[in-house]
Chain A
Amino acid sequence: MQISLRGLATSIHGMLFGAFFLLTIFGVLVELCRQFGETRPAEQSARARLLESLYLTATAALGWAAVLSGAYIVFPWYRAVPPAGAINLEPWPQALLRSSRLTAGWHTFGMEWKEHVAWFAPMAMTTVAWIFIRYRTQVRTVPHLRTALLLFTLAAFGSAAAAGLFGAMINKHAPVAGIRTAINIMESTR
Chain B
Amino acid sequence: MSTAAQQSRPSSPASGQQTPPVGPVAAAILATGIGCFALGVLTVLARASQTLAAALTWFAPTGPLSGVTSLAILFWLLAWVGLAGLWRRRDVPIGRTTAVALVLLAVGFLLTFPPFAAWLPGK
Contacts and interface: CB of A to CB of B under 8 A. Distances in A.
B53 interface: no
Contacts of B13: 40-41, 137, 141
Contacts of A119: 39, 69, 72-73
Contacts of B12: 137
Sorting the interface of chain A by its residue count into under 10, 10 to 19, 20 to 34 or 35 or more gives 35 or more
Q: Mostly helix, strand, loop or mixed at chain B's interface?
A: helix
Given A109-B115, A138-B22, A127 B65 contact: no
B68 A116 contact: yes
Interface stretch (A19-27, A68-76, A171-179): A68-76
B10 A141 contact: yes
B76 A142 contact: no
Contact of B62 (A40, A72, A108, A152): A72
Interface centre among B40, B72, B112 (most CB of A within 10 A): B112
A117 B114 CA distance: 11
B69 to A, nearest CB: 5
B73 A152 contact: no
B100 to A, nearest CB: 11
Nearest to B106: A155
Contact of A159 (B24, B66, B72, B109): B109
Nearest to B35: A123
B68 A147 contact: no
Contacts of A148: 29, 94-95, 97-98, 101
Given A72-B62, A119-B72, A152 B10 contact: no
B50 interface: no
A117 B112 contact: yes
B36 interface: yes
Contact of A144 (B8, B39, B76): B8
Interface in B31-85: 31-32, 35-36, 39-40, 43, 59, 61-63, 65-66, 68-69, 72-73, 76
Given A79-B63, A124-B32, 19 more contacts: A40-B13, A41-B13, A79-B62, A109-B115, A116-B39, A116-B68, A116-B69, A117-B112, A119-B69, A119-B73, A120-B105, A127-B31, A138-B22, A142-B22, A142-B94, A144-B94, A144-B98, A147-B95, A148-B98
Interface of B: 8-10, 12-13, 19-20, 22, 24-25, 28-29, 31-32, 35-36, 39-40, 43, 59, 61-63, 65-66, 68-69, 72-73, 76, 94-95, 97-98, 101-102, 105, 108-109, 112-115
